[in-house]
Amino acid sequence: MIRGMSNPLRFVFVLVLVVGLAGCGAGESGELAVGGKAPNFKAKNLAGESAGLKDFLGDGQFVLLNFWATWCSPCQAEIPTLNKVHERFGGKGLKVVSLSVEEREDTLRNYLAKTEIKYPVYLDPKGEIGAKYGLLAVPLNVIIDPDGKVVSLRRMAFEESLVQDVEALLKP
């Protein structure tokens, strides 16, 4: 198939293939792994309030950090499950926090006006926080223990079956 293509067409084909395999996301600079220290960050919500990882871990809680985007179908599909996890475990040692990656405030505001998200949503408008976490594509779900160590790293939508992982982490 490539052999019969002209050089410019072959270049475009390879470029499209590479971009498609990489997914859509906010960079690829970080190398995050289970057992490693989660990078600290500061982000703002739509009300302009600033918070960071240290703030979320403050009460000895686990943090489920969800990187997502309004245009991402798998991200949209995981919202009901994340809402359930937030409601079920929110007062029991887990804080669900989402970071909307590379989105404009007005886009996010319009989306949230139509979609019920029960957990805090913060902005990562330039993808800088995502880059610290090695974000290649959304969704990315990272569970961080109270000491700031990554205990789960899932480069896929948060599915109902993964609720069991959360339950296991929170058992005394």
Quick one: pLDDT at residue 17? Answer: 34
CA-based torsion, 16, 20, 26, 31: positive or negative: negative
Quick one: pLDDT at residue 3? Answer: 54
Quick one: pLDDT at residue 55? Answer: 94
Which superfamily does CATH assign the domain made up of 24-170 to?
Answer: Glutaredoxin (3.40.30.10)
Averages of pLDDT over each 10 residues, the chain, 172 residues: 50 36 40 92 97 91 96 94 93 95 96 97 97 94 95 80 80 76
Give CA–CA dist 10/1, Å, rounded. Answer: 10
Quick one: pLDDT at residue 98? Answer: 97
143 burial type by CB count under 10 A (0-12 exposed, 13-18 middle, 19+ buried): buried
In this prediction the pTM is 0.80
Quick one: pLDDT at residue 4? Answer: 55
Strand order in the sheet with 121-124: 50-52, 42-44, 121-124, 94-101, 62-68, 140-144, 150-154
Q: Where along the chain do its domains lie?
A: 24-170
